[in-house]
Chains A and B, each alone.
Chain A
Amino acid sequence: MELRHCRIHISPVLGIRLIILAGIGSCVFVSSFSSEEALHNSNVEPNAAHCPETYISKSYFKKHAYLLDPDFQDFMAHELHTGSCEALQDKLNLVPRLSILHQHLIGEGSHRRLSSSIRFKSLPESLPEVPAHFCEAIIIERLPSGVFADPFELQHLLQRGVFADAAVFGDINLELPSFRSNRSIVEIHLDIGPNILSGHKNEVEINIELPLHARYPPLGKRGFSAVQFGLPDLFLRCSIEGKSHNESCLFMSTHGGAESQVVAAVWEVPCGIKEHEGVVSVITFITAIVSALLIVLTSIHYSDITDCNHLKQS
């Protein structure tokens, strides 16, 4: 049979050209690259246009490397700047209340949604003298070890308008098991609406569903690891329009009262059983070795097999 040489005409140095082109492109695009931004475990803020004070949690992680509940509570009690709203200064004893009604997990398996229902209760009497203002609820979920939120998933929710703003702080490595990772915080901002403090609405109920994912938990004995959630920290931030500048106030809701009746969610995550260790290791390696040996023996005796096949064909 005549051999036909089929040729595809591709430039002989197309590969080199591609590399050079990519290199030039990288140089152009990297001109403003800063190494400070390219780190793991960095805080991910989908909306980079906001000023740093936007996120309460970011201030915490500026001073602390890891999320520890006592440190965060201390931070909220002593270091959080509540801002100054002169218009409301005399009325601070009539602070609007945010409280959590219930918290539970929706879904099955390793990917679920944390559903929280939050009630905003306005003041019994309106404050008509309060200038125009806009309030947002800030919900801070201190995620337990073993659970994480995907910042890019939150970004998609932001783009769809589910939240006004959202960010993840702390350990955002999506792949590590829980015993090799640290905790993280999800901070969600939701618009309550304009002039809520001088309006006639008594109560506003907000429902949020936060998509979460379980990490591989530490090994256990019973095959499941319980991940216990805590109640979120709730804040109300109001921006009041002023003559020369806008003022911003931060109201903190403390846990207690009706919230003490709320049962925090518990996530049962399947885990490996330590007793399996020896048997699994031995059988895994035996299987690998046996499979490898079979392939090796077949390859070594390949010529015998080929002769048999040709004998059968003839």
Chain B
Amino acid sequence: MEVRYTDVDYLVFSDAASLMASGKSPYQRSTYRYSPLIAFLLIPNSIIHHSWGKFIFSASDLLVGLLIHTILKLRGVPQSISTYCAMVWLVNPFTFTIGTRGNCEPVVCAMVLWIIVCLMNGNLLQAAVWYGLVVHLRIYPIIYALPIILVLDPLYFQSGKKPAVIDWSSSRIKSAFKSSSTKGGDPHHTWVSLTRLVTVRRLMFGLVSGAVFFCCTGFFFYLYGWEFLHEALLYHLTRTDPRHNFSIIFYHIYLQYEHEFSALEKLISFLPQIIVQLVLIFRFAQDLPFCFFVQTLAFVAFNKVITAQYFVWFFCLLPLILPWCSMKLKWKGLACNFLWMGAQTHWLIWGYLLEFKGKHVFIQLWLASLFFLAVNTFVLISIIRHHTYSPVFKRLERVGSKKTS
């Protein structure tokens, strides 16, 4: 049996890019459901070499490793630990095959990490531009909007001053959650932050990122019409795929597919996702990389459709939280690792029997997806329980104000 190494998505990108190169709409390529920017990036596939896109994605993969190292160094993590954490991404066989197989996720991951770097360096305008762009490219980063807004607190970001990043060593010594001067995870503090939500920087971030998003969307709508809007945007928002995937809901969707879902059913199916996201945001927003990680892991686990490429979304954030994780690799860390991979493999076995052997194993496949959600939940809870909460920024002294402890 011929098993292709190249991802089907790469063929889709390449076909869309060659359509674009010949002056046609990339959406003439069926199943091309991305921004035209991706196709534009791969136009050299048909001019220079058909592996051009793979080089871009692989280069992005390396850039992600560099950005992981950069973020950790910015937070004062020692060189050796930063390097080991970057290696968690770089030598992960799952992540480097993603890029070399021709999947565009490393580009998105690099952009998300770059946004974190910009925020840590106080470059809010740049962060806003890249954030608007990354949401245009891949909608899922919209879940980071609220934590970013929350972290743009006037206590951390003041005119003419660079935000002060809390050092890694000091965050590990203290019980950061309770004695942190910011009390970032304290619900009371979060409520106070909410009441002071409307600030100049937050407004600016929202306006700039929104403008970039709507400009990109509006421009490509002008070029490609409703087809672009439907394929690149609305499809992802309304997608209900009855075909088998890691999500627990696939069999339910298949069994119900012959009749339309009511608005109530859609709301109920979305409820666990929204509740989890909101709770995680309000508990961990100030520890931004950790908040991003747990949000992304939960988002993927509760999504209506889960494919293997979505795992990359939180793989790129995992190295950013490891220096604050008290879970030892031996044996809890390895146990979580093998449990997660085992649950995935278990699902894949049943998926293989269904798709490639034609066995009737829908129930077994659905149960495997339930087990996979249970494992994801266990891993997420374990990570939360072993995490040392560490806000990224510390309160800046106001000019003329007294020093606060």
Contact = CB atoms under 8 A, between A and B. Distances in A.
Interface of A: 1, 3-8, 10, 12-13, 15-16, 18-19, 22-23, 25-27, 29-35, 37-40, 108-111, 151-152, 172-175, 177, 179-180, 216, 218-219, 223-224, 268-274, 276-277, 280-281, 283-285, 287-289, 291-292, 294-296, 298-300, 302-303, 305-307, 309-310, 313
Contacts of A281: 252, 255-256
A285 B268 contact: yes
B28 A38 contact: yes
* Chain B at the A interface: SS class: helix
Given A30-B25, A37-B24, A292-B271, 14 more contacts: A1-B76, A5-B162, A22-B40, A29-B22, A109-B354, A270-B358, A280-B251, A283-B370, A292-B275, A295-B298, A299-B284, A300-B283, A306-B388, A307-B175
B223 A30 contact: yes
Interface stretch (B138-146, B195-203, B242-250, B339-347): B242-250
Contacts of A33: 23-25, 223-224
A182 to B, nearest CB: 14
A296 B125 contact: no
Contacts of A313: 326
Contacts of A39: 227
Contact of A29 (B20, B41, B133): B20
Contacts of A294: 377, 381
Contacts of A34: 24
B167 A3 contact: yes
Interface in B276-319: 276, 279-280, 283-284, 298, 301-302
A303 B176 CA distance: 10
Given A16-B129, A109-B355, A174-B31, A1 B255 contact: no
Contacts of B56: none
B251 A276 contact: yes
B272 A292 contact: yes
B151 to A, nearest CB: 17
A1 B81 CA distance: 15
Contact of B178 (A1, A38, A280, A303): A303
Given A173-B30, A287-B370, A299-B284, A5 B121 contact: yes
B216 interface: yes
B362 interface: yes
Given A27-B223, A295-B279, A296-B276, A6 B70 contact: yes
A271 B274 CA distance: 32
Given A12-B125, A172-B30, A179-B257, A152 B279 contact: no
Given A1-B76, A109-B355, A173-B30, A299 B283 contact: yes
Contacts of B24: 32-34, 37-38
Contacts of A296: 275-276, 279
B188 to A, nearest CB: 12
A140 to B, nearest CB: 22
Nearest to A179: B258
10 contacts: A3-B76, A6-B70, A15-B133, A18-B37, A111-B356, A280-B366, A295-B380, A299-B384, A306-B178, A306-B388
Contacts of B251: 272, 276, 280, 284
B248 A22 contact: no
A32 B23 contact: yes
B21 A7 contact: no
B23 A29 contact: yes
Given A270-B362, A295-B276, A302-B283, A280 B37 contact: no
Given A110-B355, A110-B358, A35 B225 contact: yes
A38 B227 contact: yes
B254 interface: yes
Nearest to B354: A270
B185 interface: yes
Contacts of A32: 23-24
B108 to A, nearest CB: 13
B13 interface: no
Contacts of A288: 248-249, 269, 272, 302, 373
A287 B248 contact: yes
Nearest to B265: A281
B374 A3 contact: no
A305 B133 CA distance: 38
A307 B175 CA distance: 7
Contact of A1 (B167, B271, B357, B358): B167
Top 8 A-B pairs, shortest CB-CB distance: A292-B272, A32-B23, A109-B356, A15-B129, A38-B25, A223-B360, A270-B360, A291-B377
A295 B280 contact: yes
B165 interface: yes
B40 to A, nearest CB: 5
A238 B306 CA distance: 51
Contact of B326 (A299, A302, A309): A309
Contacts of A10: 114
A3 B20 contact: no
Contacts of A108: 356-358
Given A216-B242, A291-B377, A224 B272 contact: no
Interface string B212-236: 1001100110011101000000000
